[in-house]
Structure 1
Amino acid sequence: MEKHLIVLDLDGTLLTDTQTISEKTKQTIMKAKEAGHQVMIATGRPFRASQLYYNELMLTTPIVNFNGALVHHPKNKSFKLVHSPMDIGVVHDVVDSVDKFQYKNLIAEVMDNVFIHTEDQSMMNIFKMGDPDVTIGNLRGNLNEDPTSLLIHANEENVPSIRKHLEDVHAELIDHRRWGAPFHIVEIVKKGLNKAVGISLVAKELNIPRDRIIAFGDEDNDLEMIDYAGIGVAMANGIDQLKSIANEVTLSNNEDGIANVLIERLKLN
């Protein structure tokens, strides 16, 4: 069988609700690698929060982080790192403009450095994963570099109005996505970036055509990726919008949905 590129989102897709990779899914991915297929991760997480799973699967491919704002190869320094941060002036404008909305916190990330507007112990475990440098305090005073991403943590009922405001006022300069539960967060990156942009760079490097890309996802930050892939697969726990454009809907992240598709399509039994 011809070589395929298997692209895995993490949260709600590869990872179960306990933030682990099930044994069946892990062994199936290993079989796919042994059969000559390439496996990569494409996630909204920074690398420091995805490295654990990259290592667990013993990957040797580039990785897409921050929904396409960072593409790099942890094992091959000759692969050109692509980092596409937002202009810090744009971020300041966004921060100022959302002040009229009720939000809980603002978090900016510069690669693997974290800047948190207000200390919030309920979220510290997430942002301290991978032991980054964490700076707490007013973003205007502390953030002095172009950030890779900006996160707005809000109450669930306020997320739609914040996203509408971003679309109405800042659409020419930024793209935004919504995280799933338990934290209702709007993630902002530079305009034109998404997972599909990063995957296309990796596929070109690996010389794998688009029609031999199998991508798995569950949330709205996976829309472009699922649409781009030759075989776009939505998880049963995914959003309806993603399911409507996917080539296939598989079982949930807790039911080895990834493994079932790979076993059938790549004949891994």
Structure 2
Amino acid sequence: MKQHLIVLDLDGTLLTDHQKISEKTKMTLFKAKEAGHQVMIATGRPFRASQLYYNELMLTTPIVNFNGALVHHPKNKSWQTVHTPVDLKVVHDVVDSVDKYQYENLIAEVMDDVFIHLENSPMMDMFKMGDPRVTIGNLRGSLNEDPTSLLIHAEEDKVQIIRNHLEDVHAELIEHRRWGAPFHIIEIVRKGLSKAVGISLIAKEMNIPRDRIIAFGDEDNDLEMIDYAGIGVAMSNGISQLKSIANEITTSSNNEDGIANFLIDRLKL
């Protein structure tokens, strides 16, 4: 069988709800690699929060982090890293404009440095994964360089209101996507970026055509990736909007080896 590029989102896709890779899924991905296929991760997470899974799968491929704002190769330092941050002035404008809305917190990340607007224990625990340098304080004063991404944490019923505002006021300069549970978060990256942008760059380097890219996702930030891939696969636990554009939907969820079951059937593993 011709070589395929298998692209894996993490949360709600590769990972179970307990943030683990199931043994069946792991073994299936190892078999796929042994059969000559390439396996990579494309996630909204920073690398420090995805490195554990990258290593667990023994990957030797580039990775897409921050929904396309960082594309790099952890195993090959000569590979050209692509880092595309948001302009600091735009971030300040966004921070000022959302002040009138009720949000829980703002978090900016500059690669592996984290800037947290308000001290908040649950959020602190989440963003300390990988032991980054953390700065707490008003982003207007503490953030002085272009961030890789900006996150707005809000109650679930406020998320769409804030996203509508971002679309009305800042659509020409930023992309914004929604995370799901446990925290309802709006992620902001530079305009034009998505997981698909990073995947297309990597696939070109590997000389793998679009029709042989199998991408798995479940959420809002996977829309472009699933649309781009020749075989865009929505998880059965994914959002309805993603399922509506996917080529296929897994027969089982992230907690039930959805990826493994699909690949065993599709790639005859």
> 2:31, 2:9 → 1: CA distance?
19
Which residue matches 1:236? 236
Q: Counterparts of 1:70 and 1:122 in 2: how far apart (Å)?
A: 25
Amino acid corresponding to residue 167 of structure 1 in structure 2: E
One-letter amino acid matched to 1:141: G
Residue of structure 2 in register with 1:253 after alignment: 254
- Cα deviation 1:233-257 (Å, max 9, x = unaligned): 0001100000001111101100100
> Is residue 262 of structure 1 aligned with residue 260 of structure 2?
no
Given residue 174 of structure 2, which amino acid in structure 1 is its aligned partner? Answer: I
Matching of residues 14-163 of structure 1 within 5 Å: 14-163=14-163
TM-score by length of 1: 0.99
- Provide structure 2 residue ranges, at least 5 long, that are not aligned to the other structure: none
Aligned-pair distance for 1:52?
0.1
Counterparts of 1:198-237 in structure 2, within 5 Å, are 198-237=198-237
Structure-2 separation of matches of 1:125 and 1:39: 29
Question: Shift in Å at residue 122 of structure 1?
Answer: 1.1
Distance in 2 between residues matched to 1:263 and 1:248, nearest whole Å? 15
Q: CA deviation at 1:60?
A: 0.2
C-alpha separation between the residues in 1 aligned to 2:150 and 2:216?
25
Q: Residue 108 of structure 2 aligns to a residue in which SS?
A: strand
Q: What secondary structure does 1:189 align onto?
A: strand
Counterpart secondary structure, 1:254: helix
Pairwise CA distance, 1:171: 0.1
* Divergent runs of 4+, >4 A: none
The alpha carbon displacement at 1:78 in A equals 1.3
Deviation at 1:175, TM superposition (A): 0.3
Rounded Cα–Cα distance in structure 2 between residues aligned with 1:244 and 1:99: 34
Question: Number of residues paired by the alignment?
Answer: 268
For 2:258 and 2:117, locate their aligned partners in 1 and report how far apart those are by CA, in whole Å. Answer: 38
The amino acid of 2:68's aligned partner reads G
* Mapped partners of 1:228, 1:144: distance in 2: 35
SS at match of 2:255: coil
For 2:190, the equivalent position in structure 1 comes to 190
Query: Kindly, what percent of the aligned residue pairs are identical?
Result: 84
The letter for the 2-side match of 1:69 is A
Residue 125 of structure 1: how far off its partner (Å)? 1.6
Q: d(CA) in 1 for partners of 2:179 and 2:237? A: 14
Aligned-residue CA RMSD in angstroms? Answer: 0.4
Shift of 1:77: 1.0
